[in-house]
């Protein structure tokens, strides 16, 4: 005895199996964007290149534990006083990024421009992601 299965039935069953396989296995079709960690990826850059001049003393401390509160949504003091040091989601309007990249706001920082492009890009990306305190 021969069983005849219509091609449309096979197609529907196959599609349902594929679709249910994705949800049952928790496959995420769109992965979330990478998030830059302030404490793990940005603060080490500041520690290695900025705290020599911007340690615990002075108007701008970039030392761990103080830096985030000294940067995010804080009006710039010495240059570009119409801007804030870090404006979440807007690196191009943030004094920190402008000074690190040498784009504007006075002399390039850190003095001598010793940051790698990778480090500058990481800080830019952190700001553009929302400058989270994470």
pTM for this entry: 0.74
The verdict on residue 90 lying in a domain is yes
**Burial status of residue 6 (CB atoms within 10 A of its CB: 0-12, 13-18, 19 or more):** exposed
Query: Does the pLDDT of residue 13 top 50, yes or no?
Result: no
Domains in the chain, number: 1
Cα distances (angstroms) measured from residue 60 to each of 9, 54, 93: 69, 6, 18
Residue 131 in contact with residue 74, Cβ under 8 Å?
Answer: no
Domain around 82: 38-128
93-113 residue pLDDT tens: 999 999 999 988 888 999 877
Residue 38 has what pLDDT? Answer: 98
CA distance 67 to 56: 9
The verdict on residue 33 lying in a domain is no
Q: Which one is predicted more confidently, 124 or 8?
A: 124
21-79 residue pLDDT tens: 444 455 455 656 679 999 999 999 999 999 888 988 778 999 999 999 999 999 998 77
């Amino acid at each position: 005895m021969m069983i005849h299965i219509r091609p449309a039935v096979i197609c529907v069953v196959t599609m349902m199996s594929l679709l249910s396989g994705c949800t049952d296995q928790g496959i995420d079709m769109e992965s979330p964007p990478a998030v830059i960690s302030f404490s793990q990826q940005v603060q080490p850059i500041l520690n290695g290149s900025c705290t020599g001049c911007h340690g615990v003393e002075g108007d701008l401390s970039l030392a761990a534990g103080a830096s985030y509160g000294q940067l995010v949504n804080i009006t710039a003091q010495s240059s570009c006083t119409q801007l804030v040091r870090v404006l979440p989601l807007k690196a191009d309007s943030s004094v920190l990024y402008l000074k690190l990249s040498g784009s504007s706001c006075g002399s390039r920082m850190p003095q001598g421009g010793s940051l790698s492009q990778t480090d500058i890009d990481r800080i830019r990306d952190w700001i553009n992601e929302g400058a989270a305190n994470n």
